[in-house]
């Protein structure tokens, strides 16, 4: 039986051997939720990059550029990191380059894995089904906040573990803790997260509807996966599987 493990921060990745494994990269608020939403609204592919200047350079190749730092859209970019700004017809068929404070970093630091899947509550079941078919050991890499633990990514790891618990083993405390937290919180994630640091940070910026949107389960059947140097939606491109 394959196993599922949880890495609470990209800073802890040096403790994990990603070779031959599937990583599920997650930044619930908001990077991976936004990427899933972008694909659900017709984005062709997404380049997640770490640096602002690297991201801006993609505009010369005809890409839309997106950037967020500390919750705020960076100046000079087409888009920020709110999922609602990706629900527009102009996105259809476009390539997006995006850099965010933590989410894009978690993705790029996972490149040693056999496969990187982009996880969000919004596409929870689609990811769970894909991991069952894949049959590889799984590591959920939580983006956290600037190297620190966060609750919302951990809750996602617990939700994924709950969906996979019959088909995957989990003996480590990280996975158990994530599962127990999720089972405590799942009846009302919005209320449970009211005191969490990033929810309070986003609320200080006047962002509430993004929080509620990103905590919804199974809204989109989208499967963003890292292929060579970018993310593509395997549901829209089944020949790439």
Kindly list the residues in this chain that would bind ligand 3SL in the complex (CB under 6 A).
Answer: 27, 29-31, 68, 71, 81, 100-103, 143
CB of 132 to ligand 3SL, least distance (A): 27
CB of 80 to ligand 3SL, least distance (A): 7
Nearer to ligand 3SL (CB atom), residue 28 or residue 164: 28
Nearer to ligand 3SL (CB atom), residue 103 or residue 119: 103
3-state SS of the chain: helix, strand, coil percent to 5? 45, 20, 35
CB of 101 to ligand 3SL, least distance (A): 4
CB of 158 to ligand 3SL, least distance (A): 19
Nearer to ligand 3SL (CB atom), residue 31 or residue 174: 31
Nearer to ligand 3SL (CB atom), residue 31 or residue 64: 31
Alpha carbons 59 and 107: distance in angstroms, whole number: 21
CB of 71 to ligand 3SL, least distance (A): 3
Nearer to ligand 3SL (CB atom), residue 202 or residue 222: 202
CB of 140 to ligand 3SL, least distance (A): 16
Q: Cis ω on the peptide bond leading into residue 113 (within 30° of 0)? A: no
Alpha carbons 153 and 139: distance in angstroms, whole number: 13
Nearer to ligand 3SL (CB atom), residue 95 or residue 197: 197
How far is residue 214 from each of residues 30, 35, 162, 201, 210, measured CA to CA in Å?
A: 7, 11, 19, 15, 6
Strand ranges across the sheet with 22-26: 4-7, 138-142, 22-26, 115-119, 224-227, 230-233, 45-48, 95-99, 64-69, 72-73
In sequence order, which residues have a C-beta less than 8 Å from that of residue 167 and are 6 or more positions away?
1, 2, 132
List the Cα angle 232/238/241 in 5-degree steps: 75
Nearer to ligand 3SL (CB atom), residue 68 or residue 137: 68
Placement of tokens 């989410």 in the chain = 103
Residue, CB closest to ligand 3SL:
100
CB of 27 to ligand 3SL, least distance (A): 5
């Amino acid at each position: 039986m394959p196993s599922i493990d949880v890495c609470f921060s990209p800073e802890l990745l040096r403790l994990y051997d990603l070779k031959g494994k599937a990583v599920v990269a997650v930044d619930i608020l908001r990077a991976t939720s936004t990427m899933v939403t972008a694909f659900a609204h017709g984005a062709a592919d997404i380049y997640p990059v770490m640096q602002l200047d690297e991201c801006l350079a993609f505009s010369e190749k005809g890409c839309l550029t997106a950037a967020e730092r500390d919750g705020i859209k960076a100046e000079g970019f087409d888009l920020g990191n709110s999922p609602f700004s990706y629900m527009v017809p102009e996105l259809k068929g476009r390539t997006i380059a995006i850099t965010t404070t933590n989410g894009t970093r978690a993705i790029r630091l996972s490149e040693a894995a056999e496969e990187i899947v982009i996880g969000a509550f919004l596409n929870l079941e689609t990811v769970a089904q894909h991991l069952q078919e894949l049959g590889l050991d799984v590591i959920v890499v939580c983006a956290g906040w600037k190297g620190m633990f966060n609750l919302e990514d951990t809750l996602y790891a617990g939700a994924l573990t709950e969906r996979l618990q019959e088909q995957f083993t989990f003996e480590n405390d990280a996975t158990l803790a994530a599962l127990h937290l999720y089972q405590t919180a799942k009846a009302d994630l919005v209320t449970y997260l009211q005191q969490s640091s990033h929810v309070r940070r986003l609320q200080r910026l006047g962002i509430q509807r993004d929080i509620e949107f990103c905590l919804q389960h199974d809204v989109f059947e989208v499967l963003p996966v890292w292929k060579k140097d970018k993310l593509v939606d395997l549901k829209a491109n089944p020949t790439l599987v």
